[in-house]
């Protein structure tokens, strides 16, 4: 099946720094990508919808200046957590929608720990 890769899988950073997480569709073009956040023992929460070549659409309550999303190409979307704080520590998961079939494929997730 189609593959979606996230990098890095784990990242530890100091409070106040910014962290970028990449989501790549390796063998298909993704017209739309989604970013989710998962807290321990809780469900995945949709943060934003990322469309290639346009601004991301953020869910209610998600700070767009805090979580910068860029979808510059049909195979890459990035999530940048700016001025990270310990409460931003979480598991971030992306999914990519295959343009030709409309099917969704998920990345392996990226665990962010902010000290």
Q: Does 76 bind other proteins (CB under 8 A)?
A: no
Instruction: Identify the residue among 24, 25, 34, 37 touching other proteins (CB under 8 A).
Output: 34
From residue 8, how far is each of 55, 58, 80, 99, 105 by CA, in Å? 23, 23, 12, 25, 18
CB 24 within 8 A of CB 33: no
Report the DSSP beta bridge partners of residue 51.
32
Q: How far is the CB of 86 from other proteins (least distance, A)?
A: 23
Stretch of residues binding other proteins (CB under 8 A), selected from 13-21, 64-72, 80-88, 107-115: 107-115
Q: Does 104 bind other proteins (CB under 8 A)?
A: yes
Burial of residue 104 (number of CB atoms within 10 Å: 0-12, 13-18, 19+)? middle
Asked if 108 is part of the footprint of other proteins (rule: CB under 8 A), the reply reads yes
Q: Between 49 and 113, whose beta carbon lies closer to other proteins?
A: 49
Q: Give the number of residues written for the chain.
A: 115
> Which residues are at the interface with other proteins (CB under 8 A)?
4, 6, 9, 32, 34, 36, 41-46, 49, 93, 95, 97, 102-109
């Amino acid at each position: 099946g189609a593959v979606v890769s996230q990098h890095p899988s784990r990242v530890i950073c100091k409070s106040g720094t910014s962290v970028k997480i990449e989501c790549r569709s390796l063998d298909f073009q993704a017209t739309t990508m989604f970013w989710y956040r998962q807290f321990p023992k809780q469900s995945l929460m949709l943060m934003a919808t990322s469309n290639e070549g346009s601004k991301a659409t953020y869910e209610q309550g998600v700070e767009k200046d805090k979580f910068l999303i860029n979808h510059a190409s049909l195979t890459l979307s990035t999530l940048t957590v700016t001025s990270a704080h310990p409460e931003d520590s979480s598991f971030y998961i992306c999914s990519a929608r295959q343009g030709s079939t409309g099917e969704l494929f998920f990345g392996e997730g990226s665990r962010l720990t902010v000290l």
